[in-house]
Amino acid sequence: MADATPFHAPKPAGATGVLVLASGEVAWGRGFGAEGEAVGEVCFHTAMTGYQEIMTDPSFAGQIITFTFPHIGNVGVNPDDVEADAPHALGMIVREDPTAPSNFRAMENLDGWMHHHARIGLAGIDTRALTRRVRTGGAPNGVIAHSAAGEFDLDVLLAMAKGWPGLEGMDLAKTVTRETHSSWEGGVWRLGFGYEAVEAGERPHVVAVDYGSKFNIFRNLVKAGAKVSVVPAEATFDEIMALEPDGIFLSNGPGDPAATGVYAVPVIQQLLGTDRPLFGICLGHQLLGLAIGGRTTKMFQGHRGANHPVKRLSDGAVEITSMNHGFAVERESLPANARETHVSLFDGSNAGLELADRPVFSVQYHPEASPGPQDSLYLFQRFVGSLRR
């Protein structure tokens, strides 16, 4: 096992990668994947599996992911385990160098996949120290860089980190959404069968607004019995209603919900006036909160992982969930007709809401998992079931 370079150590011999935070802190390591540099918010993710799904999650646009699990890359990559057509996270920071894949489904190693998609990796970092830094000091802005020759201009990298404006106030949904309306086909994946074919017959029609959606959300909507059409983030009310939806879905996505809400909230408010069932996840949950008069706020470190406990207030049950968000809905700002349905057991923040006077609900976490537990898949059945009624 290779030794990790201490977080504040001088440049060691053979270093081909570096992380420079806006505070001036520097961590040296071994680069892999693409060469170059990328600037964004440095966060950490606690999932032990699913690094390919995490890297391709559009919600990670503008972010550099520190994986707390030390062995990343050991099962390689394949074309099935993706949540978008390409990675959206800027890069990854890991403890151990990625090894040759040891899995019968692997089609490529992680290093080659990162290089192909122009994403930077940094290994040999003391990820425990970096995670503590994020937990105590908040998610910092930083630059991740890789040079095979080991040549870096730290002053330039520091200026990049300091000059990056941060995620607060940034609308990233426009950068990751699809450009045109499309129909979604295919259900969830099963070993030995691949992605399930859509059953024939009449299905309730869900129109999903893509603010940076994960594929597995649509797969689970299909599995629950829906026909799914997907529209871009800036689709108008008239464009959505022209598709004759039985229900509306608001997807996950990156960036500041208040910035995306400038164009999304008025449309959601019009959709609420139709009394059609509506279901939101992650950014969709935050945008719904804004649409009903609530507020959102930037979190100190955010929630990112596949082991987040959430309490369901209706019966006290605890769901272990997958989360990926850096903003939260302020429960104190919610109107009288909004009920809080779920609460994070890590910090008590809001994790779900529903409206008392219409079939509308949302959750802050990812019930589709991928990666993560499947405790919350029932929410897709609940939503599609409301369309059938």
Catalytic residue among 37, 41, 83, 368: 368
Catalytic residue among 37, 96, 282, 308: 282
Q: Can you tell me the distance from the alpha carbon of 303 to that of 346, in angstroms, rounded to the nearest whole number?
A: 9
DSSP track, 296-310: EEEEEEEEEEEEEEE
Neighbouring CB atoms inside 10 A of 163's CB total 11
Residue 48 identity: M
Q: What is the 3-state secondary structure (H, E, C) of 224-239?
A: CCCEEEEEECCCCHHH
- Residues 6+ positions from 75 with CB-CB distance below 8 Å: 101, 102, 103, 105, 106
Q: Can you tell me the distance from the alpha carbon of 127 to that of 125, in angstroms, rounded to the nearest whole number?
A: 5
Catalytic residue among 285, 303, 308, 366: 366
Residue 231 identity: V
196 counts as catalytic: no
Which of 266, 149, 143, 264 is CA-nearest to residue 212?
A: 264
Phi, psi of 4 (to 5 degrees): -90, 145
Radius of gyration of the chain (CA): 21
96 counts as catalytic: no
Which of 250, 231, 233, 251 is CA-nearest to residue 241?
A: 231
Please list, residue by residue across 12-37, b when 16 or more beta carbons sit within 10 angstroms of its beta carbon and e when fewer do. eeebbbbbbbbeebbbbbbbbbbbeb
Asked if the bond preceding 371 is cis, omega within 30° of 0, the reply is: yes
43 counts as catalytic: no
Q: Is 283 in contact with 251 (CB distance < 8 Å)?
A: yes
Please list, residue by residue across 221-256, b when 16 or more beta carbons sit within 10 angstroms of its beta carbon and e when fewer do. bbbbbbbbbbbbbebeeeebeeeebbbbbbbbbbbb
Q: Hey, what are 256's tokens?
A: 């500041």
Active site residues: 282, 366, 368
